[in-house]
Amino acid sequence: MKNLLALAALVLMSQPAVAEDAAKWSLAIHGGAGTLDPAQMTPEKRAAYEADLQAALDAGAQILAAGGSAVDAVKAAIVILEDSPLFNAGRGAVFTWDGTNELDAAIMDGRDRSAGAVAGVKTVKNPILLADTVRTQSEHVFLIGTGAEEFAVSKGFAVTPPEYFATPARREALERLKAKQLSALDVDHKFGTVGAVALDTKGNLAAGTSTGGMTGKRWGRVGDAPVIGAGTYADNRACAVSATGWGEYFIRVGVAHEICARLRAAAEAKLALADERTPSTGVAAAEVQYVADAVMAEVASLGGDGGVIVVTPAGDALFSFNTTGMYRGRATSTGLREVAIFGGEAKASHTPDH
Ligand code: ASP
């Protein structure tokens, strides 16, 4: 009887901790990574970038704090960044060699690993919403070009005129590239792709990424952003990842899935070794950082660069990048709120430049 009472007391005492745990949420966003020169960043420019990052972070955080889903938080954050002309997604997307804006996006729900992606769309204001409609209202994962646009119309998306996406700064970047016969990377090393990853209070993870790709892209080139497993991946057992950078390398490494696969293996090993006396404490933040940095080092070893944002089932939100900067932000239920641009700012960890 005494033992029973003690047990009941223990159960009661442990309830607040369980409730607190259930309210845990976490969000990380990015607005691209690349060679960012602090000297070129005027206070006005910086304030404009930070304001849009903050607005995206706040929109996602508000949904998560109110008990909304990780998928909804990811969409809300990305829509704001797609609507901002500062980032290479939606309005403000880079130009193709032929002077068009071709948009790619993907979203994945870690609860059931349902995923939706679109590539090369020219008339959809918010490609992330179309990607999610592919996920929820089609039998497919990946739709491209005019077919994706037809699907959008059939699902009630408005046809947005191409001029909406075009901005003078991105057109100039294409002109410079053409005038100097440079490669896309020489001109546009500030990538500007956007992404978000989230953990909601029900323990579900989601990841999304949206981009215009690379300046001067030709021949229907598609990067990593809409490729599930390369630029975007979410699995409740492991993590949610969104990437930005030189897409060809991220596809070759399978960056987002590679990070999740390594973290899933680490979590499973801990569970297998756990018993009643030594329960699994999950994968620690330092291990997650190690894995993200190791996979980014693989990208660098092949000659690519860029960065990732990662959120885990434990609620850790972190960054890893091997460029001088990455537009980024994170917010958690523990009160963490930050936006940052250059390496070394805030508490972001990053792998060294190469
Ligand atoms: N990863 C994107 C691509 O290769 C570009 C970026 O991140 O800015 O299309």
Tens-digit pLDDT string for the chain (354 aa): 455 555 444 444 444 443 445 599 999 999 999 877 777 788 998 999 999 999 999 999 999 999 999 999 999 999 999 999 999 999 999 999 999 999 999 999 999 999 999 999 999 999 999 999 999 999 999 999 999 999 999 999 999 999 999 999 899 888 888 887 665 555 555 568 999 999 999 999 999 999 999 999 999 999 999 999 999 999 999 999 999 999 999 999 999 999 999 999 999 999 898 888 887 778 999 999 999 999 999 999 999 999 999 999 999 999 999 998 999 999 999 999 999 998 877 544 444 433
So which residues are the catalytic ones?
Answer: 193
Whether 349 and 320 have beta carbons less than 8 Å apart is answered as: yes
Global confidence as pTM: 0.90
* CA dihedral for 235, 149, 94, 188, sign (positive or negative): positive
Q: Which atom of ligand 1 is least distant from the CA of 250? A: 1
Of 184, 185, 233, nearest in space to 209 by CA? 233
Q: Are 33 and 325 a contacting pair, CB within 8 Å?
A: yes
**Distance from C-alpha of 82 to C-alpha of 144, rounded to nearest angstrom:** 19
Q: By the 8 A CB rule, do 196 and 78 touch?
A: yes
CA 26 / ligand 1 centre spacing (Å): 24
Chain CA centroid to CA 282, Å: 23
Compute the half-sphere exposure of residue 52: CA atoms within 13 Å on the CB side of its CA.
21
Q: Smallest Cα–Cα separation from 128: which of 76, 60, 62?
A: 76
How far, rounded to the nearest angstrom, does the alpha carbon of residue 248 sit from its chain's CA centroid? 17
Q: Which of 209, 224, 227, 228 to mutate to test the pocket of ligand 1 (most atoms within 8 A of CB)?
A: 224
Q: How many angstroms is it from 277 CA to the middle of ligand 1?
A: 47
Instruction: Please identify, by atom number, the ligand 1 atom nearest to the C-alpha of residue 213.
Output: 9
Q: Which residues line ligand 1 (CB under 6 A)?
A: 32, 88, 191-193, 211, 213-214, 223-225, 231, 244-245, 247, 306
Q: Are the C-beta atoms of residues 105 and 225 closer than 8 Å to each other?
A: yes
Mutate to test the pocket of ligand 1, among 81, 86, 94, 244 (most ligand atoms within 8 A of CB): 244
In the chain, the domains with their CATH numbers are 2-90+190-215+222-350 (3.60.20.30)
